[in-house]
């Protein structure tokens, strides 16, 4: 396919520019400080942290999918295992880029090891994702060297699965354990994060499979491939349904409760606009793709799937951003004296560069891995 041959170097060029721009932006952020973000002492965490949450959760989702062949022994998916693990690694690396640029003094990270605080969900989150990255890399190395089934390799698979289950719970508890911010719904936030991990991870894999497949292998849409895509589409549909039900329930509770924090929360100005109590990103990033996926003809068509997966994928980032911002939109305590009642937000160029950089790192790793690491390799029967 000559189209692919031309597209590939262009694609590499785009990635190169994005990486370079991202790196320059990153250095600038560390020289000037986070004043470059449109964050402040009310809106403490903004887009870069949402990008981290989104990518970290997607990575967990991918790891959970990889457990189907690697832990639960679903043979049919074995050819996907290596790719899923690699994608999880690449996505998590993107996530780490985002959080690295979010931290004020990333060079003090050593104290995470030297001075760990076991009561801190952030510490656990960091520790688990670091462990997960390590486990995934070793697991990938094992698979790359042909070891799919040794005891150690199986242990690594199980370990990564367990870690990928806990990690989203930890991200959720970072918010859920904050007494003063009732609008994050306490422990429920952890369940939500786990669901979102599966949802965005599955969407990402489907997207990758469809786009990547077309870019590189061309007509790889053989029968087996189609069957796998059908299965994953089903997973996506179910998960989207559960998340949608969850979101409706959450929104209903938010609307009905009289807890003062929620009354303020209602006045949050949605970043992407809203229809009634539902944000645009919920309607177009969750409800719409769910409806599309429920329609058999759409679900059967490659374009339909791609559209739905793309909507869900982008919608997930948007929803993480919204949830993150909505919980911080009003100043706490005396900060209300200096800040407006509701703080508005639009990401700064520098924050968008963090998004670009994180995605570029992730996509570059995908691209190179796809090219050089034989990602479709499966264990020899």
Partner 1 sequence: MPRYAMVIDLQRCVGCGACSIACRNENNVQEGVYWSNKITETVGTFPNVRYHYIPTLCNHCGAAPCVRGCPTKAMHKLENGLTMHDPKKCIGCKYCEFNCPYGVIYFNWEKPHKFWRSEEAVIPGATSSPKELVEKVGAQGTPYVNTERTGTSATLRPKGIVEKCTFCDHRLARKQLPYCVEACPANARIFGDISDPKSEVSVLLGKFHPFRLREELGTDPHVFYIRGYNPARYRATKGGV
Binding site for partner 1 (CB under 8 A): 32-35, 37, 39-41, 44-45, 102-106, 108-109, 111-112, 114-117, 119-123, 126, 174, 177-181, 328, 331-338
User: What minimum distance in Å lies between the beta carbon of 336 and partner 1?
Assistant: 7
Q: Between residues 108 and 255, which has the closer beta carbon with respect to partner 1?
A: 108
Q: How far is the CB of 285 from partner 1 (least distance, A)?
A: 25
Q: Which CB sits closer to partner 1, 126 or 289?
A: 126
Query: Is the CB of 112 or the CB of 191 nearer to partner 1?
Result: 112
Q: By C-beta, is 88 or 128 nearer to partner 1?
A: 128
Distance CA 170, CA 157 (A): 20
Q: How far is the CB of 123 from partner 1 (least distance, A)?
A: 4
CB of 91 to partner 1, least distance (A): 21
Q: What tokens were used for 297?
A: 């003809």
Question: Phi and psi for 278 in degrees, rounded to 5?
Answer: -105, 130
In terms of CB distance, is 205 or 350 closer to partner 1? Answer: 350
Number of residues that make up the chain:
381
Shortest Å, Cβ 93 to partner 1: 19
How large is the greatest C-alpha to C-alpha distance in the chain, in angstroms?
68
Minimal distance, residue 173 CB to partner 1, in Å: 10
Q: Which is nearer to partner 1, 107 or 372 (CB)?
A: 107
Residue 110 CB, nearest distance to partner 1 (Å)? 9
Smallest separation, CB 38 to partner 1 (Å): 11
Nearer to partner 1, 106 or 300 (CB): 106
Cβ proximity of 243 and 349 under 8 Å: no
- How far are the Cα atoms of 44, 113, 163, 194, 290 from residue 181, in angstroms, in the given order? 13, 28, 27, 20, 30
Task: State the SS3 of the chain.
Answer: CHHHHHHHHHHHHHHHHHHHHHHHHHHHHHHHCHHHCCCCCCCCCCHHHHHHHHHHHHHHHHHHHHHHHHCCCCHHHHHHHHHHHHHHHHHHHHHHHHHHHHCCCHHHHHHHHHCCCCCCHHHHHHHHHHHHHHHHHHHHHHHHCCCCCCHHHHHHHHHHHHHHHHHHHHHHHHHHCCCCCHHHCCCHHHHHHHHHHHHHHHHHHHHHHHHHHHHHHCCCCCHHHHHHHHHHHHHHHHHHHHHHHHHHHHHHHHHHCCCHHHHHHCCCCCCCCEECCEEHHHHHHHHHHHHHHHCHHHHHCHHHHHHHHHHHHHHHHHHHHHHHHHCCCCCCHHHHHCCCCCCCCCCCHHHHHHHHHHHHHHHHHHHHHHHHCCCCCCCCC
Least distance CB 57 / partner 1 (angstroms)? 18
Minimum Å gap between C-beta 177 and partner 1 is 7
Nearer to partner 1, 102 or 351 (CB): 102
**CA nearest to 271, candidates 345, 380, 371, 365:** 345
Query: Of 124 and 192, which has the nearer Cβ to partner 1?
Result: 124
In terms of CB distance, is 55 or 62 closer to partner 1? 55
């Amino acid at each position: 396919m000559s189209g692919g041959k031309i597209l590939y170097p262009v694609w590499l060029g785009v990635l190169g520019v994005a990486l370079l721009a991202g790196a320059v932006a990153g250095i600038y952020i560390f020289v000037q400080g986070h004043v470059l973000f449109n964050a402040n002492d009310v809106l403490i965490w903004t887009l870069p942290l949402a990008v981290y949450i989104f990518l970290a959760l997607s990575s967990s989702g991918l790891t959970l999918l990889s457990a189907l062949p690697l832990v639960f022994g679903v043979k049919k998916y074995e050819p996907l295992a290596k790719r899923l693990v690699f994608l999880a690694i690449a996505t998590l690396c993107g996530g780490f880029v985002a959080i690295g640029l979010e931290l004020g003094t990333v060079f003090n990270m050593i104290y995470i090891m030297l001075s760990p605080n076991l009561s801190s969900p952030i510490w656990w989150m960091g520790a688990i994702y670091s462990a997960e990255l390590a486990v995934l890399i070793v697991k990938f190395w094992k698979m790359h060297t042909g070891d799919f089934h040794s005891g150690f390799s199986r242990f690594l698979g199980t370990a990564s699965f367990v870690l990928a289950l806990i990690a989203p719970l930890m991200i959720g508890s970072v918010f859920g354990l904050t007494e003063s911010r009732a609008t994050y719904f306490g422990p429920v936030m952890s369940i939500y994060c786990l669901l979102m991990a599966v949802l965005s991870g599955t969407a990402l894999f489907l997207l990758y499979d469809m786009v990547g497949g077309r870019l590189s292998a061309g007509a790889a849409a053989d029968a087996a491939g189609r069957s796998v895509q059908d299965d994953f589409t089903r997973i996506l549909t179910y998960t989207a349904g559960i998340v949608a039900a969850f979101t409706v329930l959450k929104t209903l509770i938010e609307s009905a409760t009289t807890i003062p924090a929620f009354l303020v929360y209602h006045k949050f100005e949605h970043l992407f606009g809203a229809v009634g109590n539902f944000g645009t990103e919920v309607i177009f990033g969750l409800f719409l793709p769910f409806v599309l996926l429920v329609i058999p003809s759409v679900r059967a068509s490659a374009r339909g799937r791609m559209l739905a997966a793309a909507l869900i994928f982008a919608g997930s980032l948007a929803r993480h951003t919204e949830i993150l911002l909505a919980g911080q939109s009003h100043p706490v305590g005396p900060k209300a004296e200096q800040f407006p009642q509701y703080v508005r937000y639009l990401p700064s160029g520098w924050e968008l560069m963090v998004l670009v950089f994180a995605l570029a790192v992730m996509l570059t790793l995908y691209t190179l891995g796809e090219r050089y690491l034989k990602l479709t390799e499966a264990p020899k029967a």
